[in-house]
């Protein structure tokens, strides 16, 4: 069984005295249903689970008047013998995007306050745009992704105590023992080849065979393409799919990884395709990193929403767009040029996004020097440069020479170091502690 951090977050929600209904958001197949079931099994005496995709007619419970007494009566008739006890029963509404009335009902369950309700869905950003009665102010949200790198390490047998030792080395900038460093770099490259989708990781852990892993990744990719076809409007379907599929070229084939519409089709313009990018983002399929023209807090004030990079919400999806041999090259660290730089940049983006950071990037239009990522941590701006090897980060060095920023990170294929003033050099895998 894969251990997930979200279980602690569910505990934190449950410990609140006046908790609202909880909505767990996330892309398809990131493990929402499994995690909620696992939590419910260990926390409640009874769970009523309604999956609106599997049982479409369950929507009848929420038809008509959404008075709580009416809904409770409908639940008792549909699930006879089930006690709806305060603090003892969980109502789990899965794939809730399929039933807008159930989404609306969350307001009334929160007001009722005597039944714990958790909802989950994979297209809630899309449903938010459709529904005029979304229960804003009456629900709490929890974002869920595929496994992050630390969760992956748990899955492959790395102990929490070993990870804690690495965390201490990160915090104190201690050099990692060479044998440990080699193992950790191998783990990181394996994670790059797999991504964090639970079914992919579980398939690998079970058999250590990349052939079935590749099949699962391809199936997941097809599932995401199906979701685009199923949920996008007729006007957006083909455009959104083209934008999504273009990410393999946008991120791995170009030195400049800024999203370019011309890579979708010749002569393409933002006017035609930006709404499709927005749709993919609201569907939790991609994440954006916006350009900033100044590195000062608050970065949002200096960002340009028309100039951005686009990353897949999980590395599994990007890897699935390449052939089977690509994984072998990643594992063996035998990629070269822009492709190698691209996959390492995407891996660091994956780790930062799953830690909840909003990503930005910076480019000096005069010197053309670019910083791969800029984040905000503790109210401070932190530049980040990613190197596939262990070469100099000229753009970062030049910027920090003239900047008053306290600290920057450089992630490399190498050990812990701090060779330039205020620039902390770390191996790629240490990004899990940022």
Q: Please check whether residues 121 and 220 belong to one and the same domain.
A: no
Summarize pLDDT for 357-374 with one digit per residue, the tens. 999 999 988 888 899 999
Q: Contact 282/266 with Cβ under 8 angstroms?
A: no
pLDDT at residue 420, as a whole number: 64
44 has a pLDDT exceeding 60: yes
Does 124 or 375 have the greater pLDDT score?
Answer: 375
Does any domain span residue 175?
no
* pLDDT at 129 exceeding the cut of 50: no
Indicate left, alpha or beta for 356 from its phi (over 0: left) and psi (-120 to 50: alpha).
left
Q: Which residues pair with 48 in a beta bridge?
A: 91
pLDDT reported for residue 130: 52
Structure confidence at residue 128 as a pLDDT band (50, 70, 90): very low
pLDDT mean over 300-308:
95
Residue 155 lies in a domain: no
Q: Is 287 within the bounds of a domain?
A: yes
Report yes or no on 210 lying in a domain: yes
pLDDT exceeds 50 at position 203? yes
Greatest Cα-to-Cα distance within the chain, rounded to the nearest angstrom? 72
* Domain end marker among 90, 119, 143: 143
- If one counts every other C-beta atom within 10 angstroms of the C-beta of residue 393, the result is 25
Query: What is the average per-residue pLDDT within 89-115?
Result: 95
Any domain includes 357: yes
- 147-197 pLDDT, tens digit per residue, is 999 999 999 999 999 999 999 999 999 999 999 999 999 999 999 999 999
User: What is residue 133's predicted lDDT score, i.e. its pLDDT?
Assistant: 65
pLDDT score of 81: 80
Counting the structural domains of the chain, the total is 2
Query: Domain span at residue 96?
Result: 6-143
Residue 268 within any structural domain of the chain: yes
Q: How confident is the model at residue 419 (pLDDT cuts 50, 70, 90)?
A: low
In a domain, 277, yes or no: yes
What CATH number does the domain containing 68 carry?
3.40.50.300
């Amino acid at each position: 069984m894969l251990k997930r951090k979200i279980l602690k977050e569910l505990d934190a929600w449950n410990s609140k005295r006046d908790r609202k209904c909880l909505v767990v958001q996330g892309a398809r197949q990131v493990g929402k249903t499994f995690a909620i079931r696992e939590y419910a099994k260990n926390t409640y005496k009874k769970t009523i689970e309604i999956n609106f995709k599997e049982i479409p007619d369950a929507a009848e419970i929420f038809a008509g008047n959404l008075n709580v007494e009416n809904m409770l009566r409908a639940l008792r008739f549909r699930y006879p013998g089930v006690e709806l006890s305060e603090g003892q029963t969980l109502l789990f509404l899965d794939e809730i995007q399929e039933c807008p009335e159930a989404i609306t009902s969350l307001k009334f369950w929160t007001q009722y306050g005597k039944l714990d309700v958790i909802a989950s869905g994979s297209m809630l950003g899309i449903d938010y745009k459709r529904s005029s009665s979304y229960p804003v102010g009456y629900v709490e949200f929890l974002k869920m992704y595929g496994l992050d790198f630390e969760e992956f390490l748990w899955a492959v047998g790395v102990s929490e105590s070993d990870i804690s030792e690495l965390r201490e080395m990160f915090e104190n900038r201690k050099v990692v023992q060479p044998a440990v460093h080699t193992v950790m770099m191998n783990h990181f490259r394996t994670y790059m080849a797999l991504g964090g989708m639970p079914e992919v990781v579980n398939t690998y852990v079970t058999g250590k065979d990349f052939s079935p892993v590749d099949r699962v990744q391809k199936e997941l990719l097809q599932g995401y393409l199906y979701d685009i076809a199923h949920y996008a409007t007729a006007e957006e379907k083909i455009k959104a799919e083209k934008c999504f599929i273009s990410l393999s070229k946008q991120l791995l084939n170009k030195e400049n990884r800024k999203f370019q519409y011309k890579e979708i089709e010749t002569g393409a313009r933002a006017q035609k395709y930006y709404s499709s990018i927005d749709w993919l983002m609201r569907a939790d399929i991609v994440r954006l990193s916006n350009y900033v023209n100044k590195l000062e807090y608050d970065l949002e004030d200096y960002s340009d929403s028309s100039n951005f990079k686009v990353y897949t919400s999980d590395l599994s999806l990007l890897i699935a767009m390449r052939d089977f041999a690509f994984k072998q090259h990643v594992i063996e660290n035998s990629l070269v040029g822009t492709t190698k730089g691209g996959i390492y940049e995407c891996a660091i983006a994956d780790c930062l996004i799953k830690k909840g950071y909003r990503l930005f990037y910076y480019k000096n239009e005069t010197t053309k020097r670019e910083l791969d990522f800029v984040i905000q941590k503790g109210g401070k701006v932190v530049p980040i440069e990613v190197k596939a090897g262990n070469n100099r980060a000229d753009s970062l060095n030049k910027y920090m020479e003239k900047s008053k920023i306290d600290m920057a990170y450089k992630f490399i294929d190498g050990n812990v170091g701090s060779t330039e003033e205020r620039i902390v050099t770390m191996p790629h895998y240490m990004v899990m502690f940022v």
